[in-house]
Amino acid sequence: MEHQHHTKSPATDHSKMDHSTMHHGSNPSMGMAGHDHSMMIADFKKRFFVVLALTLPIMLLSAMIQRFIGVDWQFAGSSYLLFALSTVVFFYGGWPFLTGWIGEIKAKNPGMMFLIGFAITVAYSYSVAIVFGLKGMDFFWELTTLIGIMLLGHWIEMKSIAGASKELELLVQLMPSDAHMVMADMIHDVKTDTLKENDIILVKPGEKVAADGIILEGESYLNESMLTGESKPVKKVKGDKVIAGSINGSGSFKVTVSHAAKDSYLSQVVKLVDDAQKSKSKTQLLADTAARWLTIIALCSGIATFLYWYLTGQPLAFAMERMVTVIVICCPHALGLAVPLVVAKSTALSAKNGLLIKNRNAFENSRKITTVVFDKTGTLTVGKFEVSKIISLDQALKENELLRLASALEQKSEHPIATGILQKVKDLAIKIPATENFNAITGKGVEATVEGKKILVVSPGYLKENKIAIPEGFTADDTETVVFVIIDKKLAGYIALSDKIRPESAAAINTLKQEKIKSILLTGDNSKVAASVSKTLGMDSFIAEVLPDQKLKEIKALQQKGEFVAMTGDGVNDAPALAQADIGIAVGSGSDIAAETAGIVLVNSDPKDIVGLILFGKATYRKMIQNLVWATGYNVVALPLAAGVLYNQGIVLSPAAGAVLMTVSTVVVAINAALLKVKN
């Protein structure tokens, strides 16, 4: 029995996360950043249409196009007009790429902008030299179509990225901007971000709750699906916690605000999602390395291609065109976006479904899980203990008196057993006495002085350790958990509580079986209860009567057998075990997100969500690998074509065709990422 009196663990150190910024444009952050992102999209769109308008006159002025359509429209100064129009395209249309190129040189991190900037500068400089006397054919129309297609590609790609992070912005928009604040004389409408602890707000029917807090008066049904993924409206009465952003049903109620808006559950979720989108996992780092190598390969291949064609007697213009095409087609764009797009989509989608990813590596590693260790109370079971029997062993002591004395000790605890005893006291309208010298006996129970008597409420393990005989006639069925009450060193009686198995648990364990993942029950409860739950659900095995500090050892033992272990626990008394597990999943943590040692937090305690998490982790990893394979494979095929391997067979790619192929590959990656879904 895990009779643990909860204390909040300090907030985990988030500074360990790598918050380095991702590939350009792939992490539209909150607020201002989102605004800047939409301005960038509009800027690329405007530049694209200006270049598009100039493309037709430039093409009609180009000698190569005129020859192709069989006309000769050359006139005095036509080459200078062509030069003037192309210069506008190069500087206005190419500006984002030129500034990006300079930025990457300064950062000593050559990438996509470096390649595009280099390619368009080579094409432009060579064409200008032709206008002013060098023999050969200019590249102006190729340069214009190349810049136009690049701008279009970037515009489409940035819209895809904005779409991938739309879920995150939806989370931000959940927070209402105004709240009805209850003052002594009247109700004032105030801005949500001005609310502070202990303010009282009114929530009217159909409105969103403006702040985390506790219901002061009134009751209603709340829809928390956007925050927890739980579709059924939840009944909330006086004393219940409410989360900012949840939608009120038909009742109205007053809420005492727990903390300022910036500390609310929703703000923490948004920060977590944003951090997780920025943090780089091993897969992301792999993609970054591949993109860097691709940049080096592109430059080397481009120069080698130029030298090969020029030294084998081809005209300078042809050799230049091959080099520009190789460099453009080899842009590691799709590769650079392959992972960030999936990351942005998966983290935001998870948050919407009640899975909060704090550690990207833990999430991506969920595909490797071979064993899931479940904490019983509140995960596989409902977590609501109801008193099933009260037995007094002292004829002078009535059942209700035993309950009254026990409840005094339990009023300070948040443990499910304590909640069950307190609920029974409330139902019987028993007044709870005060306690003195309160002390928690780790994992075994509690002790205190009540009305001058020394009282202990303890687990069967405590009796065993202290060699106290279990009373004759003691009966408890397999599903009951028992606490013993000791008054002034004499065993006075016991209280049995039972906890129902969740209806979703069996299906969750069954899905794990289908995925060939073992499920193990790890509990502080007695062996009989553990065996009964384990057998009912068809689990692989169980480990019972384990104290919180021993859970860590059990996890280690499994890891030594070569298992990749995911541990689920409530994140407070299970903190060491969660930290030891390969993947720590804190369940049912509601608003206490920051206080967990787990890499992943599940808002609900539903075991179905744990299975959902594993399947979603696998789906996310699949998408990343698909994108990486596509982005790499496309380059393997396109690069030789661009270099002119099939030139003698009459197959040659123009720079514009190279740019189209590069854009298509990027859009395929973006669409594939957008198709990621959470299966429930």
Question: Which residues are designated catalytic?
Answer: 375
Distance CA 52, CA 145 (A): 8
Distance CA 574, CA 294 (A): 45
Rounded to an integer, what is the distance from CA 60 to the centroid of its chain?
51
- Quick one: three-class SS letters along 538-594? CCCEEECCCCHHHHHHHHHHHHHCCCCEEEEECCCCCHHHHHHCCEEEEECCCCCHH
How many other CB atoms are found less than 10 A from the CB of residue 365?
A: 19
Distance CA 4, CA 444 (A): 8
Distance CA 430, CA 382 (A): 25
How many other CB atoms are found less than 10 A from the CB of residue 316?
A: 17
Let me know: does 574 contact 9? Beta carbons within 8 Å: no
Rounded to an integer, what is the distance from CA 599 to the centroid of its chain?
10
In degrees, rounded to 5, the angle at the alpha carbon of residue 461 between the alpha carbons of residues 455 and 467 is 80
Distance CA 254, CA 238 (A): 9
Burial class (CB in 10 A: 0-12, 13-18, 19+), 205: exposed
Distance CA 273, CA 267 (A): 10
Nearest to 206 by CA among 253, 267, 242: 253
User: How far from each other are the two terminal CA atoms of the chain, in whole angstroms?
Assistant: 31
Nearest to 651 by CA among 637, 632, 662: 637
In degrees, rounded to 5, the angle at the alpha carbon of residue 609 between the alpha carbons of residues 606 and 614 is 145
Distance CA 603, CA 587 (A): 6
**Residues with Cβ < 8 Å from 316, sequence gap 6 or more?**
126, 136, 310
Distance CA 440, CA 593 (A): 25
**Residues with Cβ < 8 Å from 649, sequence gap 6 or more?**
none
> What does each C-alpha distance from 215 to 199, 241, 265, 413 come to in angstroms?
12, 7, 16, 20
Nearest to 351 by CA among 12, 603, 673, 618: 603
Judging by DSSP bridges, how do beta strands 518-522 and 371-375 pair with one another?
Answer: parallel
Q: Is 183 helix (H, G, I), strand (E, B) or coil?
A: coil
